[in-house]
Each structure stands twice: as C-alpha cells, then as structure tokens.
Chain A
Amino acid sequence: MARMKFLCDSERCIECNACVTACKNEHEVPWGINRRRVVTINDGTPGERSISMACMHCTDAPCAAVCPVDCFYTTADGVVLHSKDLCIGCGYCFYACPFGAPQYPQLGNFGSRGKMDKCTFCSGGPEDDVTPAEYEKYGANRLAEGKLPLCAEMCSTKALLAGDGDIIASIYKERVVTRGYGTGAWGWSVAYKDASAA
C-alpha cells in the first residue's frame, strides 16, 4: 500500500511561494489561512535555505493524539484528515503540531476561533468524494481524481515532491547521488520516526 508523503528538497526551493498561492487558489482557502507556507532559515546569510511546509501527515500524528473530540482520522494512504463537523476549534492540535500546520479562521473581534483548517494532501474530507459539500469545507479532492497535490505538481524547480513515499524517496536519492548530500529530507525524522510503521 502506497504511503503518501511530502518531501521538500531545500537545495532546490527558491522561495517563490507558488506552492502557497496554488494551494490557496485550488482550495479557495479562507482569508487569514495558509495551508502551506515557505519558511526561510538563515535568511540573508550564507547557507540560507527555504522549505515549503504544510501538514506532513505524520505516522503517529500528535494532533490526533491531543484532539478532545477525536475528529482526526488517517486514511489507508497515510493521509491525516479531520472532520470540521466535529472540530470545536479548541486549538490543542495547533500546540501539538511540530510543523504549525493547523490554522483557524477568526470568527469575531474577540479572538473566537472557527473550525480548524489544514492541508488535506488534496484529498478532501469525510464528505462524499468530489461533491460541492466536500469542496466547500475541505477543498478539492485531487487524489480521488487520480492526481497529486497541486503544490507539488506545479513546483517550478521540482523542489516539492508529493506522492508515494517510496517513489519520491527514490527520486530524492537519485538527486543526492548526483549532486551530493545537502540538508537532508527536512522534517522526515520528526514526521516519520517509526520507519517500520510508515
């Protein structure tokens, strides 16, 4: 069974933010929320690196572990999804997530939070596949359409890889063999600690 993973090749990311824009447009993400964002480390100094970050769909997802209403579930593809009907917007998952993936829309002027929103690996949510109800709450379901997440598909430098973890790891390995080892597959040691379960 294929296990879906993201891999950002920081040697190639040029911080163009096209992945952020594409995601926001594809899923019509509400104001104030970015499901994906580009983080730059050592900005302006030698060795500067940019990494495109979103939900990494962890094997033993900390967000799911702390959720008081148990709104998270993991699909057979290894994608961590959640039900906005169950979410109470408590914010625990935001504190638990090592990648800062969960985002909340601001509902009022006094800090009240709405339902949590995060990357779905372009695979919708618990509503029926490819329906207006699913699109409204979770965005497009590209996986059900036989495609991969748009952020990775349209990355101009092919820095952001998404898909079957074994295949993208082999692609990355080929690159490393060709050019030498750089900063590594950023985030993998945190997200996919248990290699046997992944």
Chain B
Amino acid sequence: MSVKNGQADDTAGGSGLERRDFLRALGSTAAGAAVAAPLLAAGPAQAKETGAERTKARYRETEHVKAYYRTNRY
C-alpha cells in the first residue's frame, strides 16, 4: 500500500484490505472450528442401560467357559 500526502491510497492495488480480509476470514474460521470440535469429538450419543438391564446376569456357561473349567482341573 502506498501512502500519498499522509493518506492511504486505496486505488493502488488494495493489498492492505486484502490482508485484513484474509486475517478476518482466518479468525472466523478458527472460531467456527473451535465451536464445532467438541461436537465432532463427542461422537454419536450412546444409550445407557437402566434398571434391570444394568444388573442382569451376563455370565453364561458357554463352551469357552466350560473349557476353562476343564483345563483348570489339571
């Protein structure tokens, strides 16, 4: 940007304005990303178990478990 008689010459290329626009755009993009990041990081909502579902028995005497008991008798 050239300066003539103490005033900025807006007609001479306008590179100063472009630079400011660039910084402004960069700032708004960064702010947008900061707002969006936690939303993306949180991932899909997971349903939580409630009541009886939470305390129900998970143990099953599968073939895998039977094999464990059998081999532990050695």
Contacts and interface: CB of A to CB of B under 8 A. Distances in A.
Contacts of A161: 72
B49 interface: yes
Interface in A131-147: 131-134, 141, 143-144, 146-147
SS class of chain B's interface: helix, strand, loop or mixed?
loop
Interface residues of A, number: 33
Interface residues of B, number: 22
Contact of A144 (B43, B54, B58, B61): B58
Nearest to A74: B55
Nearest to B45: A133
A5 B69 CA distance: 13
Contact of B59 (A2, A153, A174): A2
A102 interface: no
Given A73-B54, A171-B73, A143 B49 contact: no
Nearest to A155: B72
A152 B69 CA distance: 11
A163 B68 contact: yes
A76 B53 CA distance: 10
Contacts of B71: 158
Interface stretch (A59-67, A109-117, A122-130, A184-192): A122-130
